Amino acid sequence: MNKPNEPTYFEARKWASFRVKDNKQIDDSDIDFILEKRNNFSLTQLLANYRQKMPEKKWVEFQSDVNQLVSGMSPQYIVGVADFYGYEYQVNRDVLIPRIETEETIDWIIDETSKVFADPLKVLDIGTGSGVIAITLKKFRPNWQLFASDISSAALKVAENNAKRLKAEVKFIQSDVFQNISGKFDLIVSNPPYIAEDEKKYMDKSVIQNEPKIALFAGNEGLAVYQAIAKDLSAHLNQGGRAFFEIGFQQEEAVINIFKQSSPNFQVLKRHDTAGNQRMIQVINEGNKQ
């Protein structure tokens, strides 16, 4: 029989599952995520090691991790990594945890640009956070020239570390929207802060408590950053260029109007995510119309 300080991985997981059973914001996949990342296991390897004893040091760490989970900390922040588009990214509380919905934005960008562009593209990611969009695009389109900006120097440090770890050549710039950006781009993408203060009631408590507010909330009912981008987008987006933006689940009409009103040369397309929610828009710079 195992000593109390040397449970098997199965017993440790069972303990954790009982510990979180009354918390509706947590499920067993969060526990498995922590076990996998802390032990460098795949899910298959975790299952294969179920009957193996967990080293005492690992058991102490795991108990601390589960206590943080119960207190409202996201599992990605607890272990310091998050998965996105097949790659593992370092994250901390200076950056948002990348969401799976953003992978759909990447899918749309890659699909659309493969149809209309033959040459390597010059690309800008505004509000890059942990760098997942810019780095993923560079990994899948290595001949593209990638630039990524953020107002937060702390976020840029995380993004730079991720780019180095994943061997993705991206030029990072500290900038509030276009403030320190020069030149024009073929492709601009942004997942900006877009949550209005009065939308907090729709959000998970753990997100409000742990994720950086500067990356979540925006003024003017969540539209301030779109307005700032739209103001100077014509000056930075090449004729025929595309801009892709993630939006809030109630913002589609408002954001479309912002970009349509900013220039008569902009065609704006919309796309919902796989759950049917308002999620993305694409702005096409059609050039000077006669």
Judge whether 194 lies within some domain.
Answer: yes
Shared domain check, 132 and 50: no
End-of-domain residue from the set 27, 47, 79:
79
End-of-domain residue from the set 59, 79, 99:
79
Shared domain check, 41 and 105: no
Q: Report the distance separating Cα 13 and Cα 43, nearest Å.
A: 13
Tens digit of each residue's pLDDT, the chain (290 residues): 444 578 999 999 999 999 998 888 888 999 999 999 999 999 999 999 999 999 999 999 999 999 999 999 999 999 999 999 999 999 999 999 999 999 999 999 999 999 888 889 999 999 999 999 999 999 999 999 999 999 999 999 999 999 999 999 999 999 999 999 999 999 999 999 888 777 776 677 777 778 888 888 778 888 999 999 999 999 999 999 999 999 998 899 999 999 999 999 999 999 999 999 999 999 999 976 54
- Domain extent for 20: 9-79
Of 143, 174, 134, 142, residue with least CA distance to 157: 174
Shared domain check, 68 and 13: yes
Shared domain check, 251 and 168: yes
Q: Is 125 helix (H, G, I), strand (E, B) or coil?
A: strand
Judge whether 290 lies within some domain.
Answer: no
Return the sign of the alpha-carbon dihedral for residues 237, 240, 244, 247: positive
What is the CATH classification number for the domain harbouring 275?
Answer: 3.40.50.150
Judge whether 2 lies within some domain.
Answer: no
pLDDT the model gives residue 118:
84
pLDDT the model gives residue 2:
46
For the CA atoms of the chain, what is the radius of gyration?
21
Shared domain check, 116 and 44: no
End-of-domain residue from the set 79, 105, 121:
79
